[in-house]
Amino acid sequence: MEKQVEKAMAIAAAEGRPVRILFVCLGNICRSPAAEGIMRQYCEKLPAAMRPELDSAGFYGGHAGDLPDRRMRNAAFQHGFHLDHRSRVIRPSDFDYFDLIIGMDDRNLSDLYDAAPSVEAEKKIARMSDFCVHYPEAHYIPDPYYDGIDGFHNVLNLLEDGCQHLLTLLYPETDN
């Protein structure tokens, strides 16, 4: 996925715009909006012109228009993050628009590969846990929806780790 990040940055640079990153999960009310909010906050330390364009989406539309799940918002607040994304379903055009599309678990990844309209689009798909450094045993970001509050904190710990490393890969020349 280092190569995917490099390619995403190269395409964005060639087009003279910030890189565009989409985080994807099932409901777009727990994991992917948390990843988006964490990454957005990490990127605030970058000069505004360098900041990536961030968004998140899900495959299940049952929560479209909703804020993130209250349990996730509360847990994220305890970790120092404010989440205000409104849930939306992933669109076919997302595969063209975004440079990097990051799924949370096996189901998201297989749904993304099924939905990708081209081989070029497939190459943009990455696995969030592959960015985790401090949790090398993590192979996916578990769905916390039916878990207790510990599950939400676990997801946030994994996402903070992965987003920190993603930031370093995106901007190796800056002091992250």
Asked if residue 102 lies in contact with residue 127, where contact means CB atoms within 8 angstroms, the answer is yes
- The minimum distance between CB 90 and ligand 4NP, in angstroms, equals 12
- The minimum distance between CB 106 and ligand 4NP, in angstroms, equals 13
- Which of these is catalytic: 31, 73, 88, 127? 31
Quick one: 60 or 135, whose CB is closer to ligand 4NP? 60
Quick one: 18 or 58, whose CB is closer to ligand 4NP? 58
Asked if residue 151 lies in contact with residue 142, where contact means CB atoms within 8 angstroms, the answer is yes
Q: Structure tokens of 47?
A: 């000069």
Q: Which residues bind ligand 4NP (CB under 6 A)?
A: 25-31, 58, 60, 62, 143, 145
The per-type count for the chain, helices as H runs and strands as E runs, is 7, 4
- The minimum distance between CB 47 and ligand 4NP, in angstroms, equals 31
Q: How far apart, in whole angstroms, are the C-alpha atoms of residue 101 and residue 92?
A: 12
99 annotated active-site: no
70 annotated active-site: no
Cα 117 to chain center, whole Å?
A: 20
Dihedral angle sign, alpha carbons of residues 33, 119, 52, 153? positive
143 annotated active-site: yes
* Chain residue at closest Cβ approach to ligand 4NP: 27
Quick one: 24 or 121, whose CB is closer to ligand 4NP? 24
What letter does residue 129 receive in the DSSP assignment?
A: G
Residues assigned a catalytic role: 25, 31, 143
